[in-house]
Amino acid sequence: MSFLIQTQQLTKYYSNGKVKALHELDLEVKEGEVFGYIGPNGAGKTTTIRLLLDLIRPTKGTAKIFGLDINQKSVIIKRDLGFLPGEIYLQENITGKQCINYFAGFKKEKADKKYLKHLLDRFGLDIDKKIKDYSKGNKQKLAIVLAFMHKPRLLILDEPTSGLDPLNQQEFYSLIKSVKADGATVLLSTHLLFEAEKVCDRVGIIKDGKLLAIEKIDDFREKNIRIINLEVGETIPLESLKSIKGIRKVTRTTTGYNLVSSGKNGQVIKELARFGADDFKINEPSLEDIFLHFYK
Ligand code: ATP
């Protein structure tokens, strides 16, 4: 099996070592997989990506992309890599088309015109407009097109769906699936759990600059953390709720209880009904809930 990205003890401290943005990261991304890099704001995702792109240099540690050192061979690496930055800065006074032509010059392969048209149609992007007249979402779409248009072997995408409306988000997910089917490898950072569950094969969970776990997405899904809001006043004793298998935490609210459950919900729901709870809401957890209950 070959790894397209390998990092060893990759570390970045800012402000004379006061900010430990990334600490001794050991990460391997396999050829052909979609790897999700999940973490809350400030976790170190962008720092990792900027290191991989050789936009900043590590405090210590090394990394390889395509088996090549990221600092010594960054020019060669970038010829077969598609990159979507978290913050997009494009020259404002040119059209989308001029921008595409400009970026086309940097890559190994010329962008296939048919594929480019396919990408533009997918996202309904008008490239005759000047970039300064693009909305935030349209700038994001243009940046996606720039990252994908050469059919790169590896895509590194920092929060790729930020600024996209739900329809275009879905379009983006289907694009990821189709490039994966064509053999591309993807590393994408996100703080959205459903996004990772939708497109990733494996996820790395990062917080405070440390990689806490790497999970296959199916194992991650099996944890199936849910937040259940019960509106029952205090008719059910707290201890009874705590005793239900699959319930990890119970807290009182003004109108009832908040329960954190994990695993299969069927038994939990049966037990709740047995205790007389006939009205409840089941919600997706936040990233913080997941960290709190699994990766403390
Ligand atoms: P977000 O989802 O908010 O973009 P992130 O996971 O990408 O977060 P990073 O941007 O990598 O996180 O930031 C990691 C930590 O490093 C944060 O505490 C951030 O404030 C800090 N940091 C990032 N860049 C610098 C810098 N140039 N100088 C000092 N501290 C920095």
8 Å CB contact between 141 and 123:
yes
- Note the pLDDT of residue 238: 86
Cα angle, residue 123 at apex, residues 117 and 126 outer, rounded to 5°: 70
107 — pLDDT class (breaks 50, 70, 90): low
191 lines ligand 1 (CB under 6 A): yes
Pairing relation of β-strands 34-38 and 202-207? parallel
Q: Cα–Cα distance between 248 and 256 in angstroms, integer? A: 17
State mean pLDDT over 86-96. Answer: 92
State which of 46, 49, 188, 208 you would mutate to test the pocket of ligand 1, scoring each by most atoms of that ligand within 8 A of its C-beta: 46
Look at residue 9 and give its three-state secondary structure.
Answer: strand
Residue 46 CA to ligand 1 centre (angstroms): 7
Q: Cα–Cα distance between 31 and 248 in angstroms, integer? A: 37
Residue 267 CA to ligand 1 centre (angstroms): 42
8 Å CB contact between 188 and 37:
yes
pTM: 0.88
42 lines ligand 1 (CB under 6 A): yes
Protein residue with least CA distance to atom 29, ligand 1: 14
19 lines ligand 1 (CB under 6 A): yes
156 lines ligand 1 (CB under 6 A): no
Q: Which of 109-118, 125-134, 207-216, 231-240 has the lowest mean pLDDT?
A: 231-240
